[in-house]
Structure 1
Amino acid sequence: MLIKQSTFYILLKRDLTLAARHRAEIANPLLFFVIVVSLFPLAISPESKHLQVIAPGVIWVAALLAAMLSLDSLFRSDFEDGSLEQLALSSHSLSILVLAKVLAHWIMTGLPLIILAPLLAVLLFLPENAMFTLIATLALATPILSLIGAIGVALTVGLRRGGVLLSLLVLPLYIPVLIFAANAVNEAARGFPVAGQLYFLGALLCLSLTLAPLATAAALRISLS
């Protein structure tokens, strides 16, 4: 168990260090997120009553697309330099190693989205009573996006132009997350309880943490075979 833990943290530190050296790859999804949200007041209306209605959906669609935009880098560099094959051939559990890489991906992409979202929500005049729900839904759901996305990336990592196929594989699985997360923020803005939506997202997170690393490891073995 100690060996697995040390390997987990070593791989996590390695991926975070590599990501810090390639800051443009981190900045691109965040800039995309900011630009998409900022364009809606210009395209629809700058009036607060209109922006309040669309704010939950706009923020969550932009966050989902930004998270998906960063997925391709999850295993691509390791596949190209042969590191991924070495991880698959190592004596350590591949699912645990996958979980370390997904956690590093979420720290570099999902966590900044959580920090930026409230600032952009102010731009869209989202009510203050919905801010906590927005942060809670992002904290629960962005790890789900990374975990589910890892399965799609693992299936398409061996393809030269797998971006379109990745979108087709991943987007349908993102729909329940989008529906419940955006609905929770919308209901919170209207003053209604949102415990049910948050519990559902929490259940999806537990399910993803349990099954997604196993499915991703199996998909990687298929892609590398």
Structure 2
Amino acid sequence: MIALLLRDLRLALRAGGGFGLGLAFFLLVAVLVPLGVGPEPATLAKIAPGILWVGALLACLLSLDRIFALDHEDGSLDLLATAPIPLEGVVAVKACAHWIVTGLPLTLVSPLLGLLMNLPAEGYPLLLASLAIGTPALSVIGTFGAALTVGLKRGGLLLSLLVLPLYVPTLVFGAEAVRRGALGMDVATPFLLLGGITAGVAALLPFASAAAVRINLR
């Protein structure tokens, strides 16, 4: 499993699997939004939690179509499906690799982009915590969408349409946790719901993703 994870990380970085692309997109969102809505600190502070979460979500979305694409093109996916490792484990490893390459860097760089959005100081630790808890759910859900569209030509648009509605609860509770924290309100409820979503999709969706891969490989 560790060897498979390291292999996927090498392939993702070698093929431009989202590390630089996701960070660049996240930076562009944080730079362009203040130019579009105006430099008023109060306005930026109000919209910062939602904008930063939307930027992170869309940055994760950019590289989803690569999760299974390279393995499907060179035939490795067929070998992985018949390997001694359960396909559910393979799917979980690929979701983990996607999070390490995309979600983790976005989480680490988010405080710097919070400065551009004039995020209140109280919101920085909560932004980090919410992204650390919520971005794994984005990767797992995205892996499920990628499994549904594996092998389809020009499946990127269909993948986005499938995944975006599933991302909405994570986005809502993640942004709400940061917003409440920035205002000094209680954040327990959105954090618990965000953690519940992540735990639920991590427990269930690898099985659904593996089933989708098996169907698409027949």
In structure 2, distance between residues paired with 1:136 and 1:26:
20
Which 5+ residue runs of structure 2 have no aligned equivalent? none
Deviation of residue 163 (structure 1)? Answer: 1.1
Per-residue deviation, 1:23:
4.2
* Aligned residue in 2 for 1:97: 90
Query: Is this contact kept in 1: 2:17–2:66, CA < 8 A?
Result: no
Cα deviation, residue 31, structure 1: 0.6
> What do the CA deviations read for 1:49-79 (whole angstroms, capped 9, x no partner)?
1100110111011111110111111111001
Q: In structure 2, what residue type is equivalent to 1:116?
A: V
Q: What is aligned with 2:120?
A: 127
Q: Does 1:148 align with 2:141?
A: yes
Given the two structures, how large is their TM-score scaled by the length of structure 1? 0.94
Q: What's the % identity of the aligned pairs?
A: 50
Aligned residue for 2:46?
Answer: 53
Match runs of 1:34-113 below 5 Å: 34-113=27-106
Distance across 2 between alignment mates of 1:219 and 1:33 = 30
How big is each residue's C-alpha offset from its partner over 1:79-98, in whole Å with a ceiling of 9 and x where there is no partner? 10000111011122110111
Counterpart CA distance in 1 for 2:130 and 2:217 is: 35
Q: Which runs of 5+ in 1 are unaligned?
A: 1-7
Specify the code of the residue in structure 2 equivalent to 1:219. A
Partner of 1:11: 4
Superposed CA offset, 1:126-149 (max 9, x none): 111111111111001100000011
Relative to the length of structure 2, the TM-score reads 0.97
Alignment of structure 1 residues 151-170 onto 2, 5 Å: 151-170=144-163
Structure 2 SS opposite 1:42: helix
